A and B are shown apart, each in its own frame.
Chain A
Amino acid sequence: MSATIVSLPDQSTARIPKMNYLSKENGLLSWLLTGDHKRIAILYLISLSFFFFIGGALAGLIRLELLTPQADLMATDTYNKVFTMHGVIMIFFFLVPSVPATLGNFLIPLMIGAKDLALPKVNLLSWYLYIAGGTLAIYTMATGGVDTGWTFTTPLSTHYVNTNVLTTGLAVFIAGFSSIFTGLNFIVTIHKMRCPGMTWFRLPLFVWAHYAASILMVLATPVVAIAIVLVALERTLGIGVFDPTKGGDPLLFQHLFWFYSHPAVYIMILPGMGVISETISTFSRKRVFGYTAVAFSSVAIAVFGFFVWAHHMFIMGISNYAVLVFSLLTMLVAVPSAIKIFNWTFTLYKGSITFETPMLYTFGFMGLFTIGGLTGVFLGTSGTDIHLTETYFIVAHFHFVMVGGMLMAFLAGIHFWWPKMTGRMYPEKISQLAAVITFIGFNFTFFPQFILGTLGMPRRYASYPPEFQVLNVFSTAGATILGVGYLLPVLYLTWSLKYGAIAGNNPWQATGLEWQIQSPPLTENFTVTPIMDHEAYDYEWLENQNLAKEKSKEVTHAG
């Protein structure tokens, strides 16, 4: 074992180490049968990008259809299938696994000084489950799709549509297990595999956020699995759980569904928040302001997140007093998010800030997530929810949090750790440009939808009254810009695999354990088990190191 010494190797002489996790073995089988968390992360990254591309293409079709008030590009049935598949693919096959399965998988063992996740084979199994679910989803789409909306509302999904509800349900069911296994693996790993000295309060906030998200994955996902099984049984055997003519309750499905799907939005956003904590501290050279507050706010979000599900059903005839309770709890869950935003903001205070691409995405996240979070309060307030729910306000709010928040965080993270994952830098200038384009395109796409929502335009409409056209045209135009913003990283990141500058071990001069090893790392991560002897984000100590180093250089020079 050795104490961790934050290393600041000379960038100019850096080269890609001959032995690393990418070069260790070659051939397709070495990837498909790997137990290495880093390789599995790469597998996830490739497959996730594929699903994001499909989901994005479907989003493009939606926006094209909405360019005109009439349903003229496609039949309404087709439109319904397109937005359903967009939702299913983006939620279950992109957003839920996005940061945890790629960055979480890659980084959690590195950040806590472990050689791998606790259960490498289970980790590989989750990827296979994800692929199985994903393949089934694509198969469903190819054989006619499904048009229930991603929420599978009963009795529409059980009795009234004759599309592929069962295969879609099965796809989500399988993907759910992938998520459960990932969460389980993270929980076990974070509990049992921390290196000596890595106490809970020395963990990077990225790990805390993943821990909170993992709890949600393990506890909430089984409920949606049950709900899906019940839908399948109702559809095939007519068991009547959701059928009022047989004494069932159609609203019960929504209770079950949202008991998962509300925590699921925290499964999606928490890991993104973890990324932001890392990037903002690195690029302002400061410890995250209020470390414990940020750590516990993740846990608070996870805990409160379980008790707000009925705010999706304020107008559905649940008891007025239930509405009161769920509205109040929703207000409470908004507070930890506000705490995080303010703590990140004050992390900048007296920092020494640089504006590399991950930091630009981080600013994008903070702005858009703030808007997304605040508009969430509009929906959590029971009175205003009556007017705003089921309109484009919901669509805009959700996309601000998920695309503006989560996807920005994902891109921040991908750029931030790209040098660690590949050993090469992404090209800085064009990446900064892409970040700006994404931000502009995003606002053009989704901000008009808030106004459409307050004006009352319902979601999931293939046609709409003509007075809503101008705002829809803005939105579609924005989506085009956004598309460019997403295409650019795919291109230049691929380019950088071969032509990017060599990154070296620690291009950002960051303090995290993952930066103290070679890039790309060895398969076993650490040659000797590290010992953690300082707090996370100890940039003060790092600066002193730097100064000492410069001094010694001067001395040598003088000598």
Chain B
Amino acid sequence: MSHISPVLWQFLVKWMTTFALFPPEASKIAPQMDALLFFMILISLIGLTIVTLLVVSFCILYSKERHPVAVQVEGSTLLEATWTIIPLGLFLVMFVWGALIYFRVFTPPANSMNIYVVGKQWMWKAEHPGGQHEINSLHVPTGRAVQLTLISQDVFHSFSIPAFRVKREAIPGRYTTVWFEPTVPGTYHLFCTQYCGTNHSQMIGDVVVMTPEGYKKWLDESTSGASLAQNGERLFASLSCAACHNARPDARGPGLANVYGAKLPLASGGTVTADDAYLRESILNPSQHVTQGYAPIMPTYQGQISEEGVIALVEYIKNLNSDYRIQQTLNTTDLLPESEGKPAPAVTGQAGKKPAPQGKVNP
């Protein structure tokens, strides 16, 4: 057979041996998603077959040669009802089934581990809680629910892992989340699926699923020496956040220990749950989110902290159980003369690219 055309032959062989309709199923949700997809493909094929069979058989039975004079049929309420209700019913089944999967994909379980992902033209940067960071790759363990908190530093991106059947938009100025539980170790595609400019098609990478032991090993080998929260602590100090957020009786800002997840009363009325999004917003847009009992005096840090810096701060505040350390640093700096009191522009992990901005709090 190969004499037809070597090139064509090669292609056909390649296609026949590698042909697949779906990517590998490597997450817990993947088989569930595929079950629905198979159901929908089946229904579609049945629908298409019915229409095709009807059209073809009518064309044969009622061609002009066989059926020279048309018989007028006006319509039929029964038939109209049939092909309104049956498709509607099937579509509703798909709707409900799909919604169940949708809610599952976007409702992370409480015990999931969180990895932050920042998208920027044209790379993905992942920040593990232990301070490990990686570019255009993501290492995750099997058997553990992993939540991604995504944000974009510039335009819309979309974080897509076909083998997990999950995808989530990374949006500028807003955290989005998605979760998955990897099941099969291996290396899978990571794509940016939202068109994001020149090198959109190079904003790709690998998702490496490892056994829990392998993952632990990887974490140990890739550590940068400081955890994400520790980076956040340094940034917190270098930005002089502690000048106000120190939980002392005369503090001009609210204390931040155990604030994560708490319900806070707002100066504008109402309450808000202090989640990642709220913390981020209060750093970048503080005047919009003043809590009750405090004056809107906090300056904005918009444009002064990179998204990674904000993430480190959020992670720091998230893990802050007591104000003891904050007050300690404050006490030591209070003893120093004014000129030395300013924190040194320490190279603080991610924020190191920009000179760490000085605290702008007016006395």
Name A's B-contacting residues (CB within 8 A): 71, 76-77, 80, 147, 149, 151, 153, 155-156, 159-161, 244-245, 247, 250-251, 284-287, 289-293, 314-317, 320, 323-324, 327-328, 331-332, 334-335, 338-339, 341-343, 345-346, 348-355, 363, 366-367, 370-371, 374-375, 377-378, 380-387, 389-391, 451, 454-456, 458-465, 467, 470-471, 473, 539-540, 543
Contacts and interface: CB of A to CB of B under 8 A. Distances in A.
B358 interface: no
A78 to B, nearest CB: 10
A460 B201 contact: yes
Contact of B101 (A353, A370, A380, A384): A384
Interface stretch (B124-132, B190-198, B245-253, B319-327): B190-198
A382 B102 contact: yes
Contact of B196 (A156, A159, A291, A343): A156
A422 to B, nearest CB: 26
Q: Which 5 pairs, one residue from A and one from B, show the smallest C-beta to C-beta distance?
A: A244-B173, A456-B162, A383-B101, A381-B98, A383-B98
Interface stretch (B151-159, B226-234, B256-264, B340-348): B151-159
A76 B201 CA distance: 8
Contacts of A539: 70, 72
B98 A470 contact: no
A342 B83 CA distance: 7
B44 A381 contact: no
B168 interface: yes
B80 interface: yes
21 contacts: A76-B200, A76-B201, A250-B171, A290-B79, A293-B75, A317-B174, A320-B106, A323-B102, A327-B99, A331-B88, A350-B73, A354-B63, A367-B51, A391-B193, A454-B23, A455-B22, A456-B160, A456-B162, A458-B192, A470-B14, A543-B70
B212 interface: no
A322 B165 CA distance: 21
Contacts of B329: none
Contact of B98 (A76, A384, A461, A467): A384
Contact of A387 (B68, B88, B162, B202): B162
A378 B165 CA distance: 14
B93 to A, nearest CB: 10
Contacts of A462: 200-201
B96 to A, nearest CB: 9
B167 A331 contact: no
B74 A366 contact: no
B285 interface: yes
Contact of B167 (A287, A315, A338, A352): A315
A161 B11 contact: no
Contact of A77 (B166, B174, B198): B198
A247 B21 contact: no
Contacts of B204: 465
Contacts of B75: 289-293, 343
Contacts of A540: 70, 72
Contacts of B162: 387, 391, 455-456
B52 A367 contact: yes
A331 B95 contact: yes
B91 A331 contact: yes
Contact of A378 (B14, B40, B173): B40
A280 to B, nearest CB: 10
Given A76-B200, A153-B194, A335-B87, 14 more contacts: A80-B197, A156-B195, A247-B288, A324-B99, A345-B55, A348-B62, A381-B95, A381-B97, A382-B101, A386-B166, A387-B37, A390-B160, A461-B201, A462-B201
The size bracket of the interface on B is: 35 or more
Given A250-B173, A381-B98, A76 B198 contact: yes
Nearest to A156: B155
Contacts of A250: 156, 171-173
A382 B158 CA distance: 17
Report whether over half of chain A's contact residues are helix, strand or loop; otherwise say mixed: helix
B4 interface: no
Contact of B74 (A287, A353, A355): A287
Given A353-B59, A470-B15, A370 B51 contact: yes
A377 B94 contact: yes
A292 B166 CA distance: 43
Given A293-B80, A350-B67, A451-B21, A245 B302 contact: yes
Contacts of A286: 70, 72-73
Contacts of A331: 88, 91-92, 94-95
A149 B198 CA distance: 11
Interface of B: 11, 14-15, 18, 20-23, 33, 36-37, 40, 43-44, 47-48, 51-52, 54-55, 58-59, 62-64, 67-76, 79-80, 83-84, 87-88, 91-92, 94-95, 97-103, 105-107, 121, 154-156, 158, 160, 162-163, 165-169, 171-174, 176, 189, 191-202, 204, 284-285, 288, 302-303
Given A327-B99, A331-B88, A377 B40 contact: yes
B64 A353 contact: yes
B70 A335 contact: no
Nearest to B16: A470
A346 B87 contact: no
Contact of A71 (B59, B73, B102, B201): B201
B215 to A, nearest CB: 24
Given A153-B156, A155-B155, A387 B73 contact: no
Contacts of B33: 383-384, 386-387
Given A244-B174, A370-B47, A390-B160, A76 B191 contact: no
Contacts of A290: 75-76, 79-80
B84 A160 contact: no
B68 A465 contact: no
Contact of B70 (A156, A245, A285, A390): A285
B94 A351 contact: no
A279 B121 CA distance: 50
B80 A245 contact: no
Given A349-B73, A375-B44, A386-B166, A320 B196 contact: no
B198 A352 contact: no
A289 B58 CA distance: 14
B201 A160 contact: no
A327 B98 contact: yes
Given A370-B51, A382-B99, A456-B160, A350 B80 contact: no
Nearest to B53: A345
Contact of A390 (B193, B199, B202): B193
Contact of B191 (A323, A363, A370, A458): A458
A458 to B, nearest CB: 4
Given A291-B75, A327-B99, A363-B55, A381 B94 contact: yes
A354 B58 CA distance: 12
A71 B199 CA distance: 11
A348 B55 contact: yes
A348 B99 contact: no
A291 B18 CA distance: 49
